Structure 1
Amino acid sequence: MPSLRYLASAFAIAMFAITLGGAPLPASAQSFSDVQRKDIETIVRDYLIAHPEVLEEAMAELTKRQSAAEAEKHQAGIAKHANAIFNSPRNVTVGNKDGDVTFVEFFDYNCGYCKRAMLDMMELMKGDPKLKVVLKEFPVLSAGSVEAAQVGVAVRMQDPTGKKYLDFHQKLLTGRGAADKARAMAVAKEVGLDMSRLDKDLASPEIRATLEENMKLAEAMGMNGTPSYVIGKQVVIGAVGVETLKEKIGIARCGKATC
């Protein structure tokens, strides 16, 4: 006969699964009478009160399984969309364009954390001459974010080298106030873009096509915020800091956090 600890653990995990996912009780549990079920619930309740660490174990196992499922989804998404993620002609590519590791960042010009992430990116490029960096507009925070991203795409369209785009990117992210079309256009003028061509390109279907491509990729990766990254076969969500990003780059490069 299974131990009481085993029954309590199984019951706790089942209760969490039901609560989180709406899973039905197994057939064996459904066969209990109301009196039997009440007795079991009382026994398990008393056991869990006496041994609350069982709940911690159940939650740890649940978190572990969820993390594994999420990582599997990320890897499958990267494998399916690798060409669009790393090599799309709509990408903005800076750093070493022939680098051995590609570092892809999805960002929003109104994301406060993206300002810090931008500094992390610049530090990584400075310290890692083999790093290829790809920037993808992912405007999810506001209408102003969409407007700024549209201008960003137009900047990319007339700057295939990415040099003026990177200047534009840094100035817009670090400027004061909310980013929108007016601010983005002012920054574009400041960095020396052809404003007549910029106005023309803003009406191009390429603007919408680029943002739609980025949105679909982010959805496929399970990204729900900015900044988000794809580094090798890894998806990283949030401004995790330069040291964590270095570790992810190391894993992509040589399979270890430090190569």
Structure 2
Amino acid sequence: MTLPLSDSGLIGTCLAASALGLIVLTSGGGDAASAPEAAEQTETTETAQANPDSALPLGAVPADGQAAVDPEFGAQVRSYLMQNPEVIFEAVAEFERRNAAAQGDMDVALVQANADALFNDPMSWVGGNPDGDVTLVEFLDYKCGFCKRAMPEVEALLEQDDNIRVIVKELPILGPESEMAARFAISVLDLEGPEAYDSVHVELMGYDGSITPEYLEDVSEEHDLALDAIVAHMDSETVNAVIADNRALAQRLQISGTPTFVMGEQMIRGFVPADALLEAAAVARQ
């Protein structure tokens, strides 16, 4: 699986490449070294569309808009960067710090604007400590490998902190099997209740095979569920509305991959270990 560059990593890489390109430009030639890629630990949908301008490195100009470089200034810049190459990466680090701060501020505003849908939705399963002083919301897909890796981390979090409320929001983005699993789980919650849902949720998150009608029949038998009623309910208006609402909420929150966590007013995009979730809980309590 190929993961996309994060926005900050991509722009940071372009900044470094542009600085290196400036050295090449002012020296009259040479080969620029390639920068390492950064990958977000999320499963994502392919939503980006081609942009003619995106092929240009940051700071570059099209061929028909050649910018003149003062030779003396170029020589000074080249000399300084050659003597202090670490400045390039200091600039990238500072850019990423500012970008992260801006993203954090935006995330707080997005969470505040959508707090009711996040924390008070009556159609979402609630686990952990229902009376906890901090709520963790997880957007997940039952076919998402990073979501499966995150499950034991969430369990470890709850073992270490028994005052956290957990809400699950199904966000099927990885194809028909994801959709089938999400509809099955939501239908179980609506017809069989939260305890049955919890069992099914754990089963689906721990399963690495194909999600098929035969597999869901086996799950129903194992957990003594009313299969026919659940299957009939999977295409109901109620289940349709839950999935549509979750997708609309994810879009408003600018969520494009799973898992994504919301803890207090923080958004955590991608897989993180239990320790990071504990730190987020501490920040939420401040």
What letter is aligned with 2:158? M
Does the residue aligned with 1:133 lie in a helix, a strand or coil? strand
- Which protein, 1 or 2, shows the higher relative CO under an 8 Å CA cutoff with sep ≥ 6? 2
Q: How many residues align?
A: 232
Structure 2, unaligned runs of 5 or more: 1-17, 23-55
Check the 8 A contact 1:145/1:180 in 2, yes or no.
no
- Deviation at residue 116 of structure 1 after TM alignment: 2.3
C-alpha deviations, 1:27-81, integer Å up to 9, x for none?
xxx9xx93x6343233212221221121112101110121112112211110000
Q: TM-score, normalised by structure 2?
A: 0.73
Taking a change above 3 Å as real, the CA distance of residues 166 and 57 of structure 1, as seen in their structure-2 partners, is: same
Taking a change above 3 Å as real, the CA distance of residues 53 and 97 of structure 1, as seen in their structure-2 partners, is: same
Does the residue aligned with 1:158 lie in a helix, a strand or coil? helix
Check the 8 A contact 1:155/1:188 in 2, yes or no.
no
| 1:125 to 2:119 alignment | no
Check the 8 A contact 2:157/2:275 in 1, yes or no.
no
| 1:157 to 2:187 alignment | no
Give the match for residue 138 of structure 2: 105
Separation in 2 of the partners of 1:22 and 1:78? Answer: 36
Separation in 1 of the partners of 2:174 and 2:59? Answer: 29
Check the 8 A contact 1:151/1:181 in 2, yes or no.
no
Give the match for residue 229 of structure 2: 197
Larger helix fraction of residues = 1
Check the 8 A contact 2:171/2:247 in 1, yes or no.
yes
Give the match for residue 243 of structure 1: 275
More displaced 10-residue stretch of structure 1: 114-123 or 49-58 = 114-123
1:215-254, aligned counterparts within 5 Å?
Answer: 215-253=247-285
Give the match for residue 65 of structure 1: 98
Does the residue aligned with 1:179 lie in a helix, a strand or coil? coil
What letter is aligned with 1:206? T
Does the residue aligned with 1:121 lie in a helix, a strand or coil? helix
Give the match for residue 49 of structure 2: none
Check the 8 A contact 1:225/1:238 in 2, yes or no.
yes
Taking a change above 3 Å as real, the CA distance of residues 21 and 69 of structure 1, as seen in their structure-2 partners, is: farther
Taking a change above 3 Å as real, the CA distance of residues 180 and 39 of structure 1, as seen in their structure-2 partners, is: farther
- Deviation at residue 193 of structure 1 after TM alignment: 1.9
Q: Percent of aligned positions with the same letter in both sequences?
A: 34
Separation in 2 of the partners of 1:23 and 1:218? Answer: 36
Taking a change above 3 Å as real, the CA distance of residues 241 and 233 of structure 1, as seen in their structure-2 partners, is: same
Taking a change above 3 Å as real, the CA distance of residues 203 and 140 of structure 1, as seen in their structure-2 partners, is: closer
C-alpha deviations, 1:154-180, integer Å up to 9, x for none?
1111134x1111110111111241334
What letter is aligned with 1:189? E
1:12-161, aligned counterparts within 5 Å?
Answer: 19-20=57-58, 34=68, 37-160=70-193
Does the residue aligned with 1:120 lie in a helix, a strand or coil? helix
Taking a change above 3 Å as real, the CA distance of residues 181 and 47 of structure 1, as seen in their structure-2 partners, is: farther
- Deviation at residue 20 of structure 1 after TM alignment: 4.0
| 1:207 to 2:243 alignment | no
Separation in 1 of the partners of 2:59 and 2:244? Answer: 31
Structure 1, unaligned runs of 5 or more: 1-10, 25-29
